Each structure stands twice: as C-alpha cells, then as structure tokens.
Amino acid sequence: MVNSKQLYFLCIGNACRSQMAEGFAKQLLPENWTIQSAGVETHGLNPNAVKVMAEVGIDISGQQSKLIEPTYLQQCDLVITLCGDARDRCPVTPASVQKLHWPLPDPAQATGTPAAQLAVFRQVRDEIKRRVLTLVPA
C-alpha cells in the first residue's frame, strides 16, 4: 500500500489559481493523493478559470471557493501558496508540512478585452500545469 499524500493549494480568494491547480492535481497526481484548495478569503469560482480549464478537458465547475480549513492544513504533507498574500497570511503549520511558493500573477486582475483577459488566464493555467507536473512521482 502506497502512503497517501495530502496537498493543499492556497490563494487569497480561492477563485482562480488555486482552483486551477486543484483541477490539474486531481487529474495528474496519483489517486492516493488527497487534494484541496482554499483561500484566506472566498471570492467565488471565477468563470474564466472554469472556461480555460474546460478548454484542456478539466471540469472545475463543481468546485467551490472555500476558506482555509485549519485541521486539513495541519495534516498536509505539502502546502503550495500561489500568491504572496496567501503565503504571508497562511496560518502556521507544523514543521512536518513541506511548503512551496509559486508566485503566479492573478489572472482575475487582467485588463483589456475579454479575449486579452482569457489569454492571461491561459498563460497562468499553462504555468500551473507545468508546475503540477513537477510534483508527479517518477
């Protein structure tokens, strides 16, 4: 029996980056991983995040914006923050919890036409996928 791993993606509002990361991780990581995402605040699931993930065959439309759950956080093997606010405001975790920080731009802050905004979402999505793939065991 392979040991299970518990992973938490944290972002400020749990609306875009952490939601996309959760979607990729659930698809790409082994089944023995428990994967969740949450935020310091809840901003709702961003429809552009849902749209760009659907473009790569991952449905995150059923996911919800959630606040950090302290008990789950304390039991994680790995916590990944996707923005400085989450890193700076993340509750203290035990020393046994490995922490990574992926400083990614917030696609929800993108300006311009809807097409330009979607382009930013796609760039961030693709970078998240690249980074999640680095977590896949060899």
Active site residues: 11, 83, 90
Exposed, middle or buried, 5 (CB in 10 Å: 0-12/13-18/19+)? middle
Alpha-carbon distance values, 109 to 48, 58, 64, 77 (Å) = 12, 23, 20, 31
For residue 14, the surrounding DSSP H or E stretch is: none
CB atoms closer than 10 angstroms to residue 30? 11
Find all residues with CB under 8 Å of 63, minimum gap 6, and list them. 19, 22, 23, 37, 45
Residue type, 133: L
